[in-house]
Amino acid sequence: MNSKDRYINICKNQNIPFFNQPTWLDFTSHKWDAFEIYVSDDLKLYLPYVIKKKIFKYSSMPELTQKFSIISSKEIVLDEKIFNLISSNLQILSNKFFYFNQTYSENFNQLKSFLSKKFITNEAKSYFISKKNMNYKNEYSGNIKNLLNKAKKNKLYIIEDSLKNFIVNYNLNLSRIKKNNYYSEKFLINLYKYINLNKCGKIFSVVDDKNIFHASSMIIWDNTDAYMLLLTSNKRLLSQGGSIYLIDELIKFSHSNNKNFDFEGSSVPKIEFFYSRFTKNYKKILEVKFFKNNLIKFISKFY
C-alpha cells in the first residue's frame, strides 16, 4: 500500500474537508498523489498534491479549489515540532517540481514562520459566516441592505435551477464583459454530474416575475460547510439587487442545513471587497510558492 492508498483509507474514517476528499481530487485532477510525513509509528501527516506537466513538471491547486488541509492519521496538536516537520518535508516535496504552489487552510498559518527563504508566501482572507451567527445580517453594509430591500420590492425570487440554464447564463454574462469562459462546457457538465452523484450540491438562481434571469450560483457542501463555488450575475440588472438577494438566500440555506457559509474565492483581492460587505469575519489562509529558478518564475506567469 502506497502513501496515496493510506491517505484514501484515512479519509474514509474521518470528517475530511471537501477539497481534500479523494473523489474531488479524482474529479479535478488528471494526476494526484499524497505526500506522507512521518511523525511516529502511529502518527503520520498527509498532504495531497497535483502533478501537472506542460513544458516542465509543476504542481498547483486543482480547479475550483481554494485551499488544502494537511490530514493526520490521528488527532494532533500543531506545535513547533510538527511545523518544523511540515516545513522540512515541504522542501522535499517542492524539489520534485520546477514550480510548486499550494494554499493551506487557516490551521496552518503559523507554518509561514518555519519555512525556508526559498518559499514565497502570501496571506489571504477567506470570508465566512458561521452557522452560530444568528445576527449576521447586522454586519451587512448599508449598500448591501439597500440592494436587498430593492430586490424584495422588485419581487425577485429564488429557484432551484438546471445546469443548462446555468451554462447559458454564465456564458452570456461573460460575453457581455468580453471575457471567455475559463471552464469548458464539458467541465461544467462533469462538475454537475459529480455533485449529483455525491449529493453534495445544487444550482440556485434568482429571477423576477417575468422569469428574467438576475443571478445564479453553484453551491457545494461537506458535513460542516457550504461553499459558493461559482457565481454569475446579469450585469445589466446588477442595480436590481439580484446577486445580493441570491447570496442572502444561500446563507439562509446553509444555516438551515446546519452549515457554515464560505464565500469561496474571496481570497482573490478584487472579489474580497465585495464579500467583505457581507461580513467582517474571515480566516487567514496561507499561499506557498516555490520556483526552481528565475526563468521558471517568469514562465509561470503565463500558466
CB 63 within 8 A of CB 28: yes
Write the DSSP assignment of 68-87 as a string of letters: B--EESS-----HHHHHHHH
Residue 180 has pLDDT above 90, yes or no: no
- The C-alpha cell at 171 is 456564458
pLDDT: which is higher, 173 or 145: 145
| pLDDT surpassing 90 at residue 214 | yes
Cα distances (Å, whole numbers) of residue 159 to 27, 78, 162, 207, 208: 27, 43, 10, 8, 10
More reliable by pLDDT, 267 or 186? 186
Q: What is the mean pLDDT of the chain?
A: 92
Q: Is the pLDDT of residue 56 over 90?
A: no
- Residue ranges in the chain assigned as alpha helix (H): 3-12, 22-28, 80-94, 142-153, 163-176, 185-197, 242-256, 269-276, 294-299
Q: Each residue of 74-93: pLDDT tens digit?
A: 888 899 999 999 999 999 99
Enumerate domains of the chain plus CATH numbers: 3-117+288-302 (3.40.630), 131-280 (3.40.630.30)
Determine the angle formed by the axes of helices 163-176 and 185-197, rounding to 10 degrees: 140
Distance, in Å, from the CA atom of 72 to the CA atom of 15, rounded to the nearest integer, reads 11
Which pTM was predicted?
0.91
Question: Tens digits of per-residue pLDDT, 131-148?
Answer: 999 999 999 999 999 999
Per-residue pLDDT at 267: 64
**What pLDDT score does 128 carry?**
96
